[in-house]
Amino acid sequence: MLVGFLFIKVASLCPSIHPGNWKYKCTKGFQYGSLCYRICPVGFDKPPGESGVMLCQANGKWRGHFPDCKVVHRRVNDPDPPKNGAVASDTWLDGKFCQVQCRKDYDFKPGYTFYEMLLNAQREHITAPSFNPAPSVPKASTNRLMDSPTA
């Protein structure tokens, strides 16, 4: 009597990845052979020479590591303030945003979009590590009577 054996290899699983405050994407979840890619937020990137890729091996262990994302877009200087206005830049978001403000009783002339009022240093087409605001900030020079609430 012949007795046969059937061997079934169960695909290895690697342990879960705990991303902290960053994201990743894997080709096959945590299964053997899956590649997981580090996803850095806008304005951040992997350090030079780091792949940011991990491979789930047959032994159930990850090969490679996820480096920390580093800031690649950083505000250098505030743009010049508009006439009768000011520029307010954040510090808590690493200088990503500058907001243009007008003095009391002044407002921007109609026709400017919100984007033109809020200069965003994280625009996707910026690749150099510098702040590139619009060429000119609109002047807050239109004297307007502000509506006052009625009592």
Mean pLDDT in consecutive groups of 10 residues from the start of the chain, 151 residues? 62 81 87 91 80 91 86 62 74 63 74 52 32 48 47 40
* Closest by CA position to 38, among listed 53, 49, 48: 53
How would CATH label the architecture of 23-71? Ribbon (2.10)
Q: Cα–Cα distances in Å, from 115 out to 43, 123, 149?
A: 18, 11, 28
pLDDT of residue 55: 94
| Domain definitions of the chain by residue range | 23-71, 85-143
CB neighbours of residue 100 within 10 Å = 22
**Residue 32, pLDDT score:** 92
SS3 53: strand
pTM of the model: 0.44
Give me the pLDDT at residue 117, please. 52
